[in-house]
Chain A
Amino acid sequence: MELAQSDLQEKAAELSLASKYKSEFLANMSHELRTPLNSLLLLAQALAENKEGNLSQEQVEFSQIIHASGSDLLNLINEILDLAKIEAGRIDLRPAKVATEELAQGISGFFEHMANQKGLELKVSVDPEAPTELFSDRQRIEQILKNLVANAIKFTDEGGVEVIFHPPREDMNKTKLGMGDGDFLAVSVSDTGIGIDPHEQRVIFEAFQQVDGSTSRRYGGTGLGLSISRELAHLLGGAIEVKSRPGQGSTFTVYLALSATLQGMDPVKPPAQARPSFVQESSTPVWRDSKAAGAQAAEPKAEIEDDRQDISSGERMILIVEDDPNFARILYSKCHAKGFKCLAAASGEAGLELAREYLPDAVILDLHLPGLDGWSVLEAMKEDTRTRHIPVHIMSVEQASSESLRKGAVGHATKPVDSQELEAAFDKLAQVAAQGTRRVLVVEDNEQLRRNTVSVIGGGDVEVDEADTAARAMEALREQNYDCIVLDLGLPDMDGRQLLEALQQEGMDIPPVIVYTARDMTREEETALRENTESIIIKGVRSQERLLDEVSLFLHRMVSKMPARKRQIIRNLHDSEAMLAGKKVMVVDDDMRTTFAVAALLSELGMEVIKANNGQKALQLLEDDPGVDLVLMDIMMPVMDGYQAMEKIRAQERLVDLPIIALTAKAMPVDREKCLQAGANDYLPKPVDRDKLISMIRVWLYR
């Protein structure tokens, strides 16, 4: 008897161990599956874009199908991974206060549209007796509820879905449901859908089983949602039960512990070695062995060919540390497309060696590598003074987390990456590599204030220089390039505005200027000042945080955007736009954003621009300056709106033929009619489209 019992216990232990191995195996396999998918998705996307224009319509469609199917496969793998993570006990919970009412609002907001589209009624209510809040993991609760409600909507063709937050019914059987003691909030999701046969009600929670095989074909999905929900509910100290009869709908009830002590696992366990990795090296013997054996049997996977034989000094280069040769190939050609030479390493050791030998401009780093892993490579690079400044971008199947940035990476893309992410990563690397440390100049005569400002924006990779007079500021600017200037207007030797003008006259390339002043100014002064400055901050109790925001905005702005636009404009100038040069346009708008954007565009085309910020100013300017060739008129403005202004312009005989284009945010035909009636020759919808604006101006100036 005793023997039999211990035998049984042993069997049970084996079984649970086997199940744990299975989960860990799945978690690892999911990673392994994502690696080839990464290349597959990227290349399919690249093909579908048909950049070279050499594929037929049908071939493009095929590529799109490959991409779509690959994405489906990826979703499936993600769900499997999710489930495996829960079952292997490798999931972090973040309990906090959660209000019942907010959960209810969230669900109702999220699904209303979907239910309406299907013609179903969605009712969400909170029983007055229901607990008003709980201490639990909001994101996970929402994951469960969203899953249940989405299912209910999916399996209901007629009628409705009702969600009630309520106290548990008296007949709740805690033991049967395997729940602990304590208080619970119950959420019932009822539908009028197809229902579930009693003997199948147990099966639906089991992974990889649906009521019948055909269900998935009709309704889609992996059928993993309920298993995931059940496991999550269990983790949160609760359970899920179902009551249903075929043809009469189903009710799923989830019980949530009011205070989730997070049953069945340690609360928020930090991963060993403080890594955001959920695949720990010791986890699966099967997996480790095969990889280790492979690594020992042969040399590390052959590295792809790279440019190391072909690098002359002064050329920019990127080091790729990636053991998947297919993805390395993709990165290799991307480097070339971006104008970088490329070095490639298939192991951490080789990567580190190349980094030290060649000191590349940037590094793209995988985390799972044979031998020395990516984290160790990153750490070693950051410890070495010769390599610490090199920007490193992580690309790995591991989920991105703040950990990577904390360890000094400039970015972290999770594989599979799509082509936009890849693009963004390269832009980021190029930008950081080009910038190195960023420098800010603070010009302020009051020492106390200056020190304050410096301490607000300094630190990290931002170096701050100080100047207490305009003369010192000019000196500093002549000697050194700055990424941003913070400028006080009232300086002892010269006004801040004069300083800017003086710098311009010297022909200096002035970096973005943030005016930081205690002075009140009129609208005209503000507009004038904004011509040479990026933003203006008035000192006050809350001004420091805005200063910090603005400074970091300018320091992190993508530098790569500008040249592309400039190039395009230079090309365009060769054709029909040349006739626009020298014409004078008045822009009437109180929105500085529009005014400046339009003015910048027109000036690039060689046109002269004058500005007015309301109708009355516009009339005045027209009186003073008879040479205006065309007016761009906003409608909604203070003091005098666009309709009135246009009527007044047309009332003057000499201005009857002056072309006026109204800029309007209004979309209805009547509104446009109104613009024309008030005297506009034509109108353009806001936000203003660059090409439309130019072609319209061309039409009205071509007489």
Chain B
Amino acid sequence: MPRNNLVAAIDIGTTKTVVLIGEIQADRKLNIIGLGERPSAGLRKGEILDMSAAKEVVHAAFADAEKTAGLHGKVRHAYLSLTGSHLEGRRYVGSTSVAATRVSREDIERAKNDAKRRKTADDRFVVHYVRQPFFLDGKPLANAENMVGKRLEVSYWTIDAARNRLEELLHIPNDMGVHADDLVVSSLASAAMVADDTMKRNGVLVVDIGGGVTDYALYYNGYVVQTGVIPVGGDHITNDLALGLRISREEAESIKIKFARAYIGADDEHATVFVSNAGSPIGGREFYKRSINLIVSARVDEIFQIIRERLGRFGEGDRVAAGAIITGGTALLNGLDLCAANALKLETVVGQNPDWVTEELSGPKYSTALGLLQYALGAGDGARRMPGAPAGIMGHIRKFLRL
């Protein structure tokens, strides 16, 4: 816990950087007091290509957030989101014999250490050890302590990352005098906001489609069973539109936001849309909606087909009863949920942040940053329990957002 109780959530995405500043009070309430948002620079597919440009943007967003919070140079601790195709996830199982009749704390620690004893490569560091349920003589248990059995097993979903990428990422907050308290994989941070405990128990897939990459996390029986990153995101849709319609990226982005749909409808055949030239309100061109939607749906379908293939049998409907939740900036693309439902063969919805988050931060593009604050609060998956907390939290947040 930071000494001064001020903590920043820094979500550095390919297209935008969001910084939230939270004040963690003594009774473990979260008060969001600052917001900074800037278009990112120097990143591609979630990884830093130009350190100076990336640093400049993050520092500016951080300064904006501090300014909104009425603080300057007071926030010295941060939680950072982590994404990119360098992230890899594996499942490691550890086991031990129970020393006495009942499982003791020592037995549990021994099993845990056995699962974590695998060494990663020298150029890779572990970012998350996400524990899965205990198995005592083959029986799944949430807590094995004092249970009777002979053989205890525990597994971890372990996410590791490339050393260079981590060093580059840490350099950004460190260079402005901010200590990174933890790094959280984007999909897990987003899931903390958009999926509640019931969904995770029933099995839910959280897909965070950002500008450059798509992160996903699969929960089953309340535990993370798989995570992954696909180096395809919303920017690829823009790029496809620019190439397919022979227009500039700016025009393509505008079409994507205003007119594009992730499936082809019956009314698209002869419908056209008017698009202003070069971002100017003067003059313009008409495009067939069918052409636009054909390009967009092909790319979106590809993203979900890759996820489905990677999940394999874990992604089948009976294991993912709560369906899929789409979040991230691209989640706002019209018809994305229908396209995802068709490709994943799962009930799909666009994620909504909990209702204690006021309208300004309710969009899916803020899920990751809000999730980071939840991690900072130490509540993690308990994010959905916030409304049950005393009404003071809502009051503070609303007070800030209605400046």
> Are A and B physically bound partners?
no
